[in-house]
């Protein structure tokens, strides 16, 4: 292990705020910024047990960082490392080296972005047998049940797709905030007064503010976008420095962390802005108080200009309130705003595999097409059929499937790699299984909120057509596998313009009503 | 012999396409009816069903024949009112394609099985062309269609069973498609052969029988949607395949799909340009056809149709056969025709006459349904063009997901995994469909005179934003997955 003393400084922090990454860091800095996760332990164990680990994913997922960190304890030569697959113009050269190491039983870590890795597995599998195992693992990172997990050999090679890693966990965010608001930010200042970097770092070191930031970032993780470690580091470093290396002691409010959190460029900033502008974050009590505070602070002479002057101030007030609710003291905690967001969906997602939740979801689906249909024991199947490009005038249903044929599945990591990374499912799935051929309806927050809105009496005519199409496609797939009488049954016809449903029994050649 | 513009229009269309593309009322369901009836070699004439489906305002339930009323065991006292209500709702199922008319002639009920297949009157020759493409494949589609259509387990078939069960199938007027006089459109290199291959590939994706039945009407829609696209692309590309003036292009007519979601950017403008180019090309095809037909009918004869004699026939109102009753309208029609003829710049008299007839065909005052109107109206009805509706203008190519899906499946074998770029390449080469992302997009557009301007805000809006959103559309369909380093793999396996 190197004993070199870390020399972190605000210049380095600013560089990270501008998008710096592991390959360009000095070993000292790399070790200093490393955020410990489950993956460190997994890699340590894999290397010591003689396995090869393929880290795949997107740029910024931390693949190179992990390899460089491991090289301290597991030196190159004894171990096989691949830092950058893109350096190989011909994949055969890479694969030859890999095969040689694999055949020699040499453990190691390979960082290969998922695109190139997919290409290798499809184009070169015939020549390199071990790619078959890699492909199987790559395709089965996420499973819906133990039975669903195919029998794959994990003895020699482990593929870890970091696209599935959730970095917006309490532990990782908390560790990162402490890391970057600590000595990195606070050292190397040679000026009087408090500059913007010191101010922001000091604020983030306060427990209440830090916890609110963690809550905010944790919540945006529910949008289902893949946030990388690099995204998180860039975000935090920008929130502290504003991308400005020179210390600014002018007390410029635009450089305060609560404004910087909403003004940077990058995925995490986009998500935070999306969250901030969510209608769910509007709160009549809080917003009216904050508007009143903004009016007091803003100076305007003409009432017609008031909104233009007050609104920017209101934004700053609200941003600050999200983190400094205790200091502003409106008698309301900002985290309660976050926690209300998508509560029903998250609750469903987290508990979704119980029988009660399965029945609840069946009820929601039935209620989508037939309001006040409280049936939980079976799911009605509806058919929409037309050849023109316009919404159906009518939907038809003739049958239902018993709840025993349906199950709610929660996606999870394959058991062999579940200790490697944190995974947060963005959806559940309603699954119909026909002789081992599952048909799944993806229950994400969008579908759930559409169904819940109708359940809360939002008119059917305001439905989201894409969501409806998704449901109908699932139902058609299920109907394909079911067998029905061609002579009798109960048919319901829904007039989609009026919402009226007519139901009639067909019994051979007679209608009965 | 006087000229009947509608006849010339129809004959010109048949010469060029092998069918009459001269009906604005043609709808996707009409093509469905023709394909299905030809596949099954039978159709129905469900009088009972049509009587039942009449609007209660026209035929109240109390006036329905007993044979229909007795099929309903309705226990309430207000049986007629209940039946009226039920009929109105059930009619919507049959009329989901907006093609149920007061008379059966031309009607085409929305169909999921053979019970609803009528002997169609509308779009019959167009349907025969599409059926010909299908019948030229190895037979997968026909076999699956037959199984699907003879299955009665779906909810719509069961719903109408009591009203159709007693009907006996009859033999429809099955006729093979007549190849156009102009050429053989299925020769290698022509778009019809690529469309036939597209059907072949699409057929491999359709579901097989499950147990005793094949209850998956979605596959019917996939076939009909692709049939609609095939009709559009075939008509659009014919001029280039038929022209003999040495100006033919080496590529398909470009169809830029506008996925930008906007109307005012270079991609949207190019898409609009393509729409206009389709109109220009189809009109030019009509001119080629008119030239052939007028020649066949002796209008090249100088002794009978010199400039002076033509003008004399116009003056004496002998040249045209007009379906007009009012003399003032006939006068106006001749006046307009004369105006076009005299203003045409062609030196040769026959060319001037051809140009004049072709231009007149495309003027609404002569009440001819032009191939341009036919194909563009059909384009929005099938879901290829947006906005839809009769009164919309400035249409651009933006297919519904239900249309994009069979297009993608028609170039992608079930066991294939290809890159997004390869998908874009296949769509461009085979169908002229351009979304961005291939090296030849711009040269193809340029060859056809379609301008792809530059954007002040984007470096390459076609290959960037448009292609990205197209990619997302394919991902949303479940046929693509995005990986790092710009790799997107398209596969039917991913669903």
> pLDDT digits over A174-185, tens only?
999 999 998 788
Give the number of other Cβ atoms within 10 Å of residue B262's Cβ. 12
Look at the alpha carbons of B441, B444, B447, B452 in this order and tell me if their dihedral is positive or negative: negative
Residue range A297-316: mean pLDDT, rounded? 82
The answer to whether the CB of A410 falls within 8 A of the CB of A392 is: no
pLDDT at B181 over 70: yes
Which stretch of DSSP H or E encloses residue A308?
helix A306-323
Backbone dihedral angles phi then psi of residue A110, each to the nearest 5 degrees: -120, 130
Of the candidates A219, A314, A122, A266, the one whose C-alpha atom is nearest the C-alpha of residue B490 is: A122
Of the candidates A107, A39, A89, the one whose C-alpha atom is nearest the C-alpha of residue A69 is: A39
Cβ-Cβ contacts under 8 Å, A115 against chain B = 483-487
Note whether residue A371 is domain-resident: yes
Residue A4, pLDDT score:
39
User: What is the chain A residue with the closest CA to B386?
Assistant: A389
Cβ-Cβ contacts under 8 Å, B417 against chain A = 122
Note whether residue A48 is domain-resident: yes
Of the candidates A348, A403, A344, the one whose C-alpha atom is nearest the C-alpha of residue A376 is: A403
CB contact under 8 A, A511 and B71: yes
Of the candidates B467, B434, B464, the one whose C-alpha atom is nearest the C-alpha of residue B450 is: B434
Q: Is B325 exposed, middle or buried (0-12, 13-18, 19+ CB in 10 A)?
A: exposed
Domain membership of residue A227 as a residue range: 166-278
Residues A319 and A364 in one domain: no
> Band of the pLDDT at A242, cuts 50, 70, 90?
very high
Mutate to test the interface with A, among B46, B53, B89 (most CBs of A within 10 A): B89
Which of A115, A393, A511 faces B487 most closely, judged by CB atoms? A115
CB contact under 8 A, A393 and B75: no
Residue A340, pLDDT score:
61
pLDDT at B173 over 90: no
Among A4-18, A401-415, B302-316, B416-430, where is mean pLDDT lowest? A4-18
Structure tokens at B484: 């790092």
User: How many CB contacts within 8 angstroms connect chain A with chain B?
Assistant: 171
Among A177-181, A221-225, B291-295, the range with the most confident prediction by mean pLDDT is B291-295
Residues A425 and A302 in one domain: no
Query: B325 CA to chain A: closest CA distance, Å?
Result: 37
Residue B469, pLDDT score:
95
Residues A173 and A156 in one domain: no
Mutate to test the interface with B, among A111, A225, A383, A387 (most CBs of B within 10 A): A387
Cβ-Cβ contacts under 8 Å, A392 against chain B = 96
DSSP state of B465: I
Cβ-Cβ contacts under 8 Å, A478 against chain B = none
Residues A60 and A135 in one domain: yes
Cβ-Cβ contacts under 8 Å, A389 against chain B = 28, 380-383, 388, 400, 402-403
Cβ-Cβ contacts under 8 Å, B212 against chain A = 483
DSSP E strand stretches across A371-451? 378-383, 394-402, 406-409, 412-413, 428-434, 437-443
Residues A359 and A490 in one domain: yes
Residues A371 and A504 in one domain: yes
> Cβ neighbours of residue B163 under 8 Å, at least 6 residues apart?
B46, B48, B49, B52, B68, B71
Q: Is A168 exposed, middle or buried (0-12, 13-18, 19+ CB in 10 A)?
A: buried
Residues A334 and A405 in one domain: no
Cβ-Cβ contacts under 8 Å, A464 against chain B = none
> Cβ neighbours of residue B99 under 8 Å, at least 6 residues apart?
B27, B29, B30, B106, B107, B108, B109, B110
CB contact under 8 A, A483 and B90: no
Note whether residue A8 is domain-resident: no
Which of B95, B156, B486 faces A393 most closely, judged by CB atoms? B95
Residue B485, pLDDT score:
75
Which of B154, B213, B483 faces A115 most closely, judged by CB atoms? B483
Instruction: Scan for tokens 């101030």, then name that residue.
Output: A313
The answer to whether the CB of B15 falls within 8 A of the CB of B293 is: yes
User: What is the chain B residue with the closest CA to A381?
Assistant: B155
CB contact under 8 A, B73 and A396: no
Among A200-209, A218-227, A495-504, where is mean pLDDT lowest? A218-227
- 3-state helix, strand, coil split of chain B in percent (to 5) is 55, 5, 40
Structure tokens at A322: 């999200």
> Band of the pLDDT at B248, cuts 50, 70, 90?
very high
Which of B85, B156, B401 faces A396 most closely, judged by CB atoms? B156
Give the number of other Cβ atoms within 10 Å of residue B456's Cβ. 7
Cβ-Cβ contacts under 8 Å, B211 against chain A = 483
Which of A56, A484, A495 faces B92 most closely, judged by CB atoms? A495
DSSP state of B209: P
Residue range A252-256: mean pLDDT, rounded? 94
The answer to whether the CB of A321 falls within 8 A of the CB of A288 is: no
Structure tokens at A154: 């994990």
Look at the alpha carbons of A468, A469, A475, A478 in this order and tell me if their dihedral is positive or negative: negative
- Taking CA atoms, A88 is separated from A80, A93, A113, A115, A126, in Å, by 16, 7, 13, 14, 20
Query: Distance between CA A66 and CA A229 in Å, rounded?
Result: 11
Residue range B344-360: mean pLDDT, rounded? 96
% of chain B at pLDDT higher than 70: 99
Look at the alpha carbons of B282, B284, B290, B292 in this order and tell me if their dihedral is positive or negative: negative
Note whether residue A13 is domain-resident: no
ipTM of model = 0.94
Structure tokens at B325: 């009753």
- DSSP-assigned letters across all residues of A68-137: HHHHHHS-BTTBEEES-GGG-SSHHHHHHHHHHHHHTT--EEEE--HHHHHHHHHHSTTT-THHHHHHHH
Mutate to test the interface with A, among B155, B377, B378 (most CBs of A within 10 A): B155
Query: Distance between CA A281 and CA A278 in Å, rounded?
Result: 6
Instruction: Provide the residue ranges of all domains of chain B, joining segments of one domain with +.
Output: 25-242, 255-266+395-494
Residue range B462-479: mean pLDDT, rounded? 92
Residue B329, pLDDT score:
92
The answer to whether the CB of B265 falls within 8 A of the CB of B460 is: no
Supply the CATH number for residue A60's domain. 3.40.50
User: What is the chain A residue with the closest CA to B398?
Assistant: A389
Query: A489 CA to chain B: closest CA distance, Å?
Result: 8
Query: Distance between CA B491 and CA B145 in Å, rounded?
Result: 24
Query: Distance between CA B492 and CA B495 in Å, rounded?
Result: 6
Q: Give per-residue pLDDT as tens, A341-394.
A: 666 766 666 666 677 888 989 999 999 898 877 789 999 999 999 999 988 999
Residue A7, pLDDT score:
45
Residue range B241-262: mean pLDDT, rounded? 95
> Cβ neighbours of residue A164 under 8 Å, at least 6 residues apart?
A141, A142, A413, A421, A423
Residue B368, pLDDT score:
78
pLDDT at B432 over 50: yes
Backbone dihedral angles phi then psi of residue A491, each to the nearest 5 degrees: -115, 135
Residue range A126-155: mean pLDDT, rounded? 90
Query: B215 CA to chain A: closest CA distance, Å?
Result: 5
Report the number of distinct structural domains present in chain A. Answer: 4
Of the candidates B66, B91, B72, B76, the one whose C-alpha atom is nearest the C-alpha of residue A505 is: B72
Residue A466, pLDDT score:
82
Domain end residue (candidates: A164, A188, A213): A164
Among A223-232, A461-470, B351-360, where is mean pLDDT lowest? A461-470
pLDDT at A8 over 60: no
Residues A317 and A457 in one domain: no
Structure tokens at A202: 């000091």
Residues A190 and A96 in one domain: no
SS3 B154: coil
Query: B28 CA to chain A: closest CA distance, Å?
Result: 6
Domain end residue (candidates: A101, A132, A164): A164
User: What is the chain B residue with the closest CA to A498?
Assistant: B89
**How high does pLDDT run on average in chain A?**
88
Query: Distance between CA B277 and CA B254 in Å, rounded?
Result: 9
CB contact under 8 A, A513 and B112: no
**How high does pLDDT run on average in chain B?**
93
SS3 A125: coil
> Cβ neighbours of residue A106 under 8 Å, at least 6 residues apart?
A52, A78, A79, A80
CB contact under 8 A, B484 and A113: yes
Cβ-Cβ contacts under 8 Å, B213 against chain A = 483, 486
pLDDT at A282 over 90: no
Residues A382 and A419 in one domain: yes
Residues A139 and A124 in one domain: yes
Give the number of other Cβ atoms within 10 Å of residue A418's Cβ. 14
pLDDT at B102 over 50: yes
User: What is the chain A residue with the closest CA to B76?
Assistant: A513
Query: A188 CA to chain B: closest CA distance, Å?
Result: 38
Q: Is B298 exposed, middle or buried (0-12, 13-18, 19+ CB in 10 A)?
A: exposed
CB contact under 8 A, B71 and A506: no
Residue range A321-331: mean pLDDT, rounded? 88
Residue A508, pLDDT score:
81
pLDDT at B435 over 60: yes
CB contact under 8 A, A387 and B92: no
Cβ-Cβ contacts under 8 Å, A482 against chain B = 215
The answer to whether the CB of B38 falls within 8 A of the CB of B131 is: yes
Structure tokens at B141: 């589609």
SS3 B358: helix
Residue range A4-23: mean pLDDT, rounded? 68
> Cβ neighbours of residue B347 under 8 Å, at least 6 residues apart?
none
Pairing mode, strands A437-443 and A501-507? unpaired
- DSSP-assigned letters across all residues of A135-196: HHHHHTSEESSTTTS-----SSEEEEEGGG----SHHHHHHHHHHHHTHHHHSS--SSS--H
Cβ-Cβ contacts under 8 Å, A161 against chain B = none
Backbone dihedral angles phi then psi of residue A93, each to the nearest 5 degrees: -60, -45
Residues A170 and A158 in one domain: no
Query: B224 CA to chain A: closest CA distance, Å?
Result: 7
Note whether residue A19 is domain-resident: no
pLDDT at A5 over 60: no
Residue A353, pLDDT score:
65
> Band of the pLDDT at A2, cuts 50, 70, 90?
very low
The answer to whether the CB of B458 falls within 8 A of the CB of B475 is: no
Q: Give per-residue pLDDT as tens, B45-92.
A: 888 999 999 999 999 999 999 999 999 998 777 788 999 999 999 999
Note whether residue A442 is domain-resident: yes
Cβ-Cβ contacts under 8 Å, B76 against chain A = 513
Cβ-Cβ contacts under 8 Å, A119 against chain B = 487
DSSP state of A280: G
Partners of A180 in the beta sheet?
none
CB contact under 8 A, A57 and B484: yes
Domain B255-266+395-494 indexed as CATH 1.10.10: yes
């Amino acid at each position: 292990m190197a004993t070199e003393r870390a020399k972190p400084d605000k210049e380095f922090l600013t560089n990270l705020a501008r998008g710096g990454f592991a390959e360009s860091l000095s070993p000292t800095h790399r070790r200093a910024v490393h955020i410990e996760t489950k993956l460190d332990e997994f890699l340590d164990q894999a290397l010591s047990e003689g396995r090869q680990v393929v880290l795949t994913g997107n740029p910024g997922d931390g693949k190179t960082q992990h390899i460089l960190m491991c090289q301290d304890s597991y030196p190159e030569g004894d171990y096989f490392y691949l830092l950058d697959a893109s350096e190989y113009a011909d994949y055969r050269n890479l694969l030859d080296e890999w095969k040689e190491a694999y055949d020699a039983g040499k453990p190691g870590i390979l960082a290969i972005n998922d695109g190139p890795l997919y290409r290798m597995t499809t184009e070169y599998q015939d020549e390199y047998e071990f790619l078959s195992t890699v492909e199987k693992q790559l395709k089965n990172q996420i499973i819906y049940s133990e039975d669903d997990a195919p029998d794959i050999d994990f003895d020699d090679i482990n593929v870890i797709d970091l696209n599935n890693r959730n970095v917006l966990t309490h532990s990782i965010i908390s560790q990162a905030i402490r890391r970057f608001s600590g000595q990195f930010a606070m050292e190397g200042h040679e000026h009087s007064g408090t500059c913007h970097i010191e101010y922001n770092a000091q604020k983030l070191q306060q427990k209440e503010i830090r916890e609110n930031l963690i809550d905010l970032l944790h919540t945006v993780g529910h949008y289902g976008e893949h946030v990388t470690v690099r995204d998180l580091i860039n975000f935090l470093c920008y929130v502290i420095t504003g991308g400005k290396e020179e210390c600014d002691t002018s007390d410029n409010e635009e450089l305060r962390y609560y404004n910087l959190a909403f003004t940077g460029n990058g995925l995490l900033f986009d998500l935070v802005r999306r969250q901030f502008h969510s209608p769910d974050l509007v709160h009549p009590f809080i917003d009216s108080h904050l508007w009143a505070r903004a009016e007091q602070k803003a100076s305007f002479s003409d009432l017609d200009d008031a909104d233009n002057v007050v609104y920017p101030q209101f934004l700053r007030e609200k941003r600050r309130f999200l983190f400094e609710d205790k200091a502003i003291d409106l008698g309301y905690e900002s985290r309660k705003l976050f926690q209300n967001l998508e509560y029903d969906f998250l609750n469903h997602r987290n508990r979704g595999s119980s029988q009660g939740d399965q029945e609840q979801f069946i009820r929601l689906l039935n209620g989508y097409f037939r309001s006040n249909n409280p049936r939980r024991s079976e799911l009605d199947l509806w058919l929409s059929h037309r050849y023109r490009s316009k919404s159906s005038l009518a939907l038809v249903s003739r049958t239902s499937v018993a709840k025993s044929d349906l199950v709610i599945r929660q996606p999870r990591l394959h058991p062999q790699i579940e200790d490697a990374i944190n995974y947060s499912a963005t959806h559940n799935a309603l699954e119909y299984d026909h002789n081992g051929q599952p048909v799944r309806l993806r229950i994400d927050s969008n579908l759930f909120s559409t169904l819940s809105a109708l359940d809360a009496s939002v008119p059917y005519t305001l439905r989201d057509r894409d969501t409806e199409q998704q449901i109908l496609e699932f139902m058609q797939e299920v109907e394909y596998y079911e067998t029905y009488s061609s002579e009798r049954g109960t048919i319901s016809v829904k007039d989609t313009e009026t919402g009226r449903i007519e139901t009639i029994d067909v019994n051979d050649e007679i209608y009965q009503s | 012999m006087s000229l009947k513009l509608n006849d010339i229009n129809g004959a010109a269309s048949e010469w060029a396409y092998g069918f009459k593309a001269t009906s604005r009322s043609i709808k996707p369901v009409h093509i469905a009816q023709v394909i299905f009836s030809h596949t099954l070699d039978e159709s129905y004439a469900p009088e009972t069903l049509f009587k039942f489906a009449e609007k209660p305002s026209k035929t109240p339930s109390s006036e329905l024949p007993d044979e229909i009323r007795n099929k309903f065991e309705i226990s309430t006292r207000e049986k007629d009112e209940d039946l009226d209500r039920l009929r109105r709702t059930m009619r919507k199922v049959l009329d989901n394609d907006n093609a149920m008319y007061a008379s059966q002639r031309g009607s085409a009920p929305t169909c999921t099985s053979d019970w609803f297949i009528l002997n169609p009157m509308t779009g019959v020759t167009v349907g025969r062309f599409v059926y010909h493409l299908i019948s030229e494949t190895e037979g997968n589609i026909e076999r699956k269609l037959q199984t699907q259509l003879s299955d009665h387990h779906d909810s719509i078939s069961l719903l109408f069973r009591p009203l159709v069960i007693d009907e006996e199938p009859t033999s429809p007027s099955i006729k093979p498609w007549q190849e156009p006089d102009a050429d053989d459109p299925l020769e290698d290199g022509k778009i019809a052969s690529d469309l036939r291959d597209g059907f072949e590939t699409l057929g491999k994706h359709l579901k097989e029988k499950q147990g005793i039945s094949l209850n998956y009407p979605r596959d019917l829609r996939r076939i009909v949607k692709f049939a609609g696209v095939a009709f559009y692309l075939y008509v659009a590309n014919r001029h280039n395949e038929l022209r003999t003036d040495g100006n033919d292009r080496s590529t398909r007519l470009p169809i830029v799909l506008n996925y930008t979601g906007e109307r005012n950017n270079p991609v949207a403008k190019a898409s609009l340009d393509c729409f206009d180019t389709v109109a220009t090309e189809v009109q030019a095809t009509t001119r080629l056809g008119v030239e052939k037909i007028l020649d066949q009918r002796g209008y090249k004869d100088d002794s009978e149709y010199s400039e002076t004699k033509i003008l004399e026939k116009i003056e004496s109102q002998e040249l045209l056969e007009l379906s007009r009753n009012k003399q003032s309208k006939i006068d106006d029609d001749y006046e307009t025709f004369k105006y076009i003829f005299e203003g045409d710049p062609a030196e040769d008299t026959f060319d001037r006459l051809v140009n004049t007839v072709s231009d007149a065909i495309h003027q609404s005052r002569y009440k001819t349904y032009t191939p341009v109107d036919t194909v563009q109206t059909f384009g929005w009805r099938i879901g290829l063009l947006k906005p839809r509706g009769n009164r919309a203008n400035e249409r651009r190519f933006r297919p519904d997901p239900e249309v994009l899906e069979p297009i993608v499946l028609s170039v992608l074998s079930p066991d294939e995994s290809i890159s997004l770029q390869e998908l874009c390449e296949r769509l461009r080469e085979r169908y002229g469909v351009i979304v961005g992302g291939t090296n030849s997009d711009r040269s193809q557009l340029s060859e056809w005179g379609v301008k792809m301007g530059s954007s002040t805000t984007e470096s390459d809006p076609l290959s960037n934003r448009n292609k990205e959103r197209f990619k997302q559309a394919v991902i949303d369909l479940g046929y693509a997955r995005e990986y790092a380093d710009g790799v997107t793999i398209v596969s039917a396996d991913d669903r």
